[in-house]
A and B are shown apart, each in its own frame.
Chain A
């Protein structure tokens, strides 16, 4: 049996809009519609989609915050909204946009409060805290009130807070939003370790395709509340027809470069843009270009997740 199982999961919101002075019109908004999910223990799944696609609503149903309006849902064998408290021991949640810590308490006190709330045995708490403080480099920050932490520091604090009780599933909602490149890299590294060594199942929503590339073998794409893709990232690129772009700065102006496996899309003086399939390696292409032309500089542009999804959606 899957760790997360949903069949026909739906959530509609009734929205009242003002029409005229006194009248209100009632509309049903389908935030999530007829969603099927099956996630096995130990998976790392990227859950992506444009803004307002229904990602957060799904996560809130999986955690028991929102009661579904339709369908069947089991997480770790229980119905989340009915067994919210039992489920709480088995899941950890990180909301990227807001903290789950207490603004006025130092990190250390927040963690102690969580130890009490989750009833984490003292020795387990100490081992876990020591490990996460070490891995996430929180040592100097333990006595700082949360409101004084930077976004990146707070995120590390939040992740520690979500893991102190050894959850089996960790939900991360936009965990790398607003972080600099180095912090993003370290966070991804940490999440990989967490999955590999502790077997924690990860479900993360993100806008950053590189998060997915670094972490997830599997991607689920949702748009307008419906699942539009579920499979490997490479397959997503193939189906979405996404391309990467090699930007070549030549020493001199030249006619459009012609090499195998890529097409020149744009030429502007000595700079040329070559597109090639996103699942192909850039290395042979770079070698081929460098062998045939005098190259001053090279860079690669990653495909934009929104474009991939738009492409995918327009085809389905």
Chain B
């Protein structure tokens, strides 16, 4: 079992490392893109911060608490984007025949697709989210249980976004240009979960719990860490459910991926 998980991971790192080495040839452009990425995502949070100059709470949550939610989901999507974000290029890999090439190589296809042209500069997003998350964390009343919950939140959240990236990218096996549809759910979803869900109508929260379970990325675990009862009356055990949801999502994504690959039609020549 350990080997089943570890070997693909090692292969991923090997391929990614080679791309990192290759890209450092253009050192100046690497730093420009990294710093640029950091600033662009940074502006994002500045918006929320400015908002708090006119209001004192958002949906009943303080700036620090909103920052905690923002950092939680931001960290999860940034980690997912860093490691599997390349999959949104699946359609073009199919068109250019690159997927055919990858299919005749002995590394799991998903690993190859995700590690292809691995770009370390995407780490800028991770750093930005980490800064916000770290700043908010300084004000949390930490206990061992809450620390464990925070660790579980980041891991489960990343896995939920991993699964979404992969499952929605698989649409491209059937329709080549559906990358935007995937973005609506991943980055779009991340925008929603950057705010306390109390600002949205109850239907949105239900949708984010039962349909597209993004509320498990940061909302429910954060309620536990921030020591808040669920404002919408969901039972307390939903707050510890994130790992289960993450596993289920990963299972669904794997199934969709396998189905996509077996229905793959390749291109004409």
A residues contacting B by CB (< 8 A) are: 13, 56, 60, 63-67, 81, 84-86, 88-89, 91, 93, 95, 97-98, 100, 102, 104-105, 109, 112-113, 116-119
Q: How far is the CA of A13 from the CA of B21 in the complex (A)?
A: 42
Residue-wise interface mask of B (73-92) relative to A, using a CB-CB cutoff of 8 A (1 in contact, 0 not): 00000000000000000000
Residues of B within 8 A of A84 (CB): 103-104
Stretch from B193-201, B203-211, B243-251, B259-267 that touches the partner: B259-267
Do residues B100 and A65 form an inter-chain contact, with CB atoms below 8 A? yes
Stretch at the interface among B55-63, B105-113, B131-139, B230-238: B105-113
**Chain B, Cβ-Cβ closest to A119:** B106
Closest residue of chain B to A82 (Cβ to Cβ) is B262
- Closest residue of chain B to A63, judged by CB? B104
Q: Which residue of A lies closest to B106 (CB)?
A: A88
- Cβ of B50 within 8 Å of any chain A Cβ, yes or no, is no
- In the bound complex, how far is the Cα of B266 from the Cα of A234, in angstroms? 35
Whether the pair B106, A63 counts as a contact (CB closer than 8 A) is no
In the bound complex, what is the Cα–Cα distance between A97 and B96 (angstroms)?
A: 11
> Which chain A positions have C-beta within 8 A of B263?
67
How far is A50 from B251 in the complex, measured between Cα atoms in Å? 44
Pick the contact of B18: A86, A91, A109 (CB < 8 A): A109
- Sample of 22 A–B contacts (CB below 8 Å): A56-B268, A60-B100, A64-B103, A64-B104, A65-B264, A65-B266, A66-B264, A66-B266, A85-B107, A88-B104, A88-B105, A88-B106, A91-B104, A93-B104, A95-B101, A98-B97, A98-B101, A116-B11, A116-B15, A117-B11, A117-B105, A117-B107
Chain A residues whose C-beta falls within 8 Å of the C-beta of B100 in the assembled complex: 60, 65, 95
In the complex, A89 Cα to B107 Cα: how many Å? 10
- What are the interface flags for B110-139 relative to A under an 8 Å C-beta threshold, 1 for contact and 0 otherwise? 001000010000000000000000000000
Question: 7 smallest A-B Cβ distances: which pairs?
Answer: A88-B106, A100-B101, A116-B14, A65-B103, A85-B106, A93-B104, A98-B97
CB distance from B23 to the nearest CB of A (A): 9
Given A85-B106, A91-B104, A98-B96, does the pair A13, B265 have CB atoms closer than 8 Å?
Answer: yes
* B18 touching A66, Cβ below 8 Å: no
Bound-state Cα–Cα, A93 to B266, Å: 15
From B18, B106, B112, B262, give the contact of A118 (CB < 8 A): B106
Chain B positions within 8 Å of A60 at CB level: 100, 266
Residues of B within 8 A of A118 (CB): 105-106
Minimum CB–CB distance for B263 against chain A, Å? 8
Contacts of A91 in B (CB 8 A): 104
- Determine whether the beta carbon of B103 is less than 8 Å from that of A63: yes
Interface range, B side: 20 to 34
Report how far A143 CA is from B106 CA in the complex, Å: 26
Across the interface, which residues of A come within 8 angstroms of B21, CB to CB? 109
> Which residues of chain B are within 8 angstroms of A116 by Cβ–Cβ distance?
11, 14-15, 18
Q: How far is the CA of A116 from the CA of B104 in the complex (A)?
A: 15
1/0 per position for B1-16, CB-CB distance to A under 8 A?
A: 0000000000100110
Which chain B residues border A117 with CB–CB below 8 Å? 11, 15, 105-107, 112
B92 to chain A, nearest CB (A): 13
| A97 lies within 8 A of B269 (CB) | yes
Interface Cβ pair total, 8 Å cutoff:
66
- Identify the interface centre among B96, B97, B105, B108: most chain A CB within 10 Å of its CB: B105
Q: Answer whether residue B28 sits at the interface, using C-beta atoms and an 8 A cutoff.
A: no
- Establish whether residues B104 and A81, one from each chain, have CB atoms under 8 Å apart when the complex forms: no
Cα A117 to Cα B265 with chains together (Å):
24
- B151 proximal to A (CB < 8 A): no
A109 to B22, CA, bound (A): 8
A119, B15: Cα distance in complex, Å: 12
Residue in A closest to B116 when the chains form the complex, CB atoms: A102
Give every chain A residue within 8 A of B18 (Cβ-Cβ): 109, 112-113, 116
When distances are taken between beta carbons in the complex, the residues of chain B under 8 Å from A56 are 268-269
Tell me the nearest residue of chain A to B23, going by C-beta: A104
CB-defined contacts of B105 to chain A, threshold 8 Å: 85, 88, 117-118
Question: Which residue of chain B lies nearest to A57 when distances are taken between CB atoms in the complex?
Answer: B266
User: How many angstroms between the C-alpha atoms of A179 and B15 in the bound complex?
Assistant: 32
Shortest beta-carbon distance from A198 to chain B in Å: 19
Chain B nearest CB from A172 CB (Å) reads: 13
* Apart from A67-B262, A88-B104, A98-B101: 20 A-B pairs, beta carbons within 8 A: A56-B269, A63-B104, A65-B104, A65-B266, A66-B264, A81-B262, A84-B103, A86-B106, A89-B106, A93-B101, A95-B97, A104-B22, A109-B18, A113-B18, A116-B11, A116-B14, A117-B105, A117-B106, A118-B105, A119-B106
Q: Report the minimal beta-carbon distance from B129 to chain A, rounded to whole angstroms.
A: 29
Q: Is the CB of A85 within 8 A of B108?
A: yes
Contacts of A65 in B (CB 8 A): 100, 103-104, 264, 266
> How distant is B104 from chain A, measured CB to nearest CB, in Å?
5
Q: How far does the alpha carbon of A95 sit from the alpha carbon of B269 in the complex, in Å?
A: 9
Closest residue of chain B to A88 (Cβ to Cβ) is: B106
Q: Which residues of A sit under 8 angstroms from B22, Cβ to Cβ?
A: 104-105, 109
Task: List residues of chain A with CB within 8 A of the CB of B11.
Answer: 116-117
